[in-house]
Structure formats: structure tokens, C-alpha cells
Structure 1
Amino acid sequence: MDKLKYLNKLTGNIKFSKAAKIITKTRLKVIYKLADKYMENPDDENLHKLRIAVRRMRFAYEMFKNVYTEEIYTHTLKELKKLQDVFGLARDNDVMLEKLYILSKDVQLDIPKKLINKLEKNKTEMRQKISQELLKFKGDNIIQSLLN
């Protein structure tokens, strides 16, 4: 429950804009923390947690259009969508690879090694792309301004 301790700051007396900034800042800090974990260990579990955190921030952030300037809002939303797109491509590849492994084991289907190798290569490349995008996201001045 300590993940939601920021909710203690959200009382009935708080203005919407202040609540929006508290939520945005908190969600962004979670993304930064999970991005660091992912960079240390880019496994499926860390990617999954990061995907969820970005999705939660984006959905919350979409309600705050009138809180931020058009430039900040549009830029941040675009960057969140970009991360989601990269995560989605990686997830699609991972699911396909996982299903092929299951088929080859359970049904004893002979999956061409070339296909498995291609998907494994894609997985490695996607992990590198995700790391690059996370570094860009974390280094983005407009995104960082949301922490102030």
C-alpha cells in the first residue's frame, strides 16, 4: 500500500491541477525507478512492470490536458505513446516466441530453427531499442520538468 501513499496528499480541499501534478509526478517517478531496474536486468518481468507503469501514467495523464501547456502535454503524451509502441512490439515478439516454444514442446511440432533464431535476434534488438528509448525518455527536459 505504500505505493499509494501519494493519495494521502489528495484531499477534498485540493485543486484538480495540484492533484494532477502530484499524480503525474508520482507516476513518472515509478517509471524512472522501473526503467533503472530494467536497464540493470532487461528481463521479461521488468519489462512487464514497466509496460504497466507507462500505461497507468498515460491513462492518468490523458485526463490532465487542461493542467499543462499544450506543448508540455502534447510532447509528454507523444513520448509515452512512443514507449508503449516499442513495448508492444517487444511483447508481440516475446509472445510469438513463447507460443512457438510451447508448440514445439507440447505438440512436438518441428519449428524451423531459423524462425526461432530470428525471433531471438529480434528480442535482443528490441531490448536494446527499449533501453535507448528509456534513456531518451529519462533525459528529456520536458518530461523532467514534470518532476518539479
Structure 2
Amino acid sequence: MSIKDLYTSGFIKRNNGHFAAIVRVALSDGDIVEAEKQFLDRLARKLTISETEYANILENPTAYPINPPTTYNRRLERLFDLVRMVYADLDIKDAQVSVLERIAVGLGFAPANVTYVVQKALALVAEGVDDVDTFSDEIKNMNR
């Protein structure tokens, strides 16, 4: 196996894990509604998720590990995608927030302040922050 194959395999696994985490958030309030489906479709294209893998992930999203990013910036990017899924249908449920907090811990956010980080992330998206750079800057500056 070449280095390229290892990189590609790891890249695909990380994307599949991230996509599966987002599907878990979408499913946490019951069924996936049309707005959530549209978001998932766009994200699947962005993450180069194949149609077969898309179907497999929708069928069993818990079969895919989260694969936490090694950098804080990557964690924030993933959190941003997750929070946008919560807001996709504009109907936020406690179950979604609970799943989001558990996934955030899996991404590497400290359990001691994960509720605070998730609440801040939700507030930012609710306020209309729609780009990852602004989102990341605001989260990084929340303790200053």
C-alpha cells in the first residue's frame, strides 16, 4: 500500500465519521426533515461522500467513529457544521443539544466547559454567523 492510499483512506474515514456525527444530530429529534436532507446533501458533496456510503451512514450512523481532529481549528470547523445541522430545520430540541454536547466531547472539547462552548456556538449561528472563520474567531475570543 502506498502513502497516497493511506492518506486517502484516512481522509475518507475522517469525512465519513464527521458526516455520521452530523447525521446523528439530524436524527436525534426523530426523522430527517427536508431542510436537514438538503444540508446533508450539500455536505456530502463537500466531503466527497459516495452515494453508497451516504446510504450506509444514514442507515447506521453510530457505526462510524468520530475521529477527533488534532487541531483546535479543525474541531471548531466540525462544531460549526454540527451546529448548522441543528439549525437546519429551525426547530431545536433538547435531544439535539444533548447529542451535540456528547459529540463535542468526542471531538476533543473539554467536558468541563462543553455546555458553555455549545451554547455559545448555538447562539452564534442563531445570530446569523454563517462563515466558519467568524464562528471560530468568536469561539476563540469568548473567554477574553
Q: TM-score, length-normalised on structure 1? A: 0.28
Query: Over alpha carbons, which structure has the higher Rg?
Result: 1
Structure holding more helix per residue: 1
Q: TM-score, length-normalised on structure 2? A: 0.29
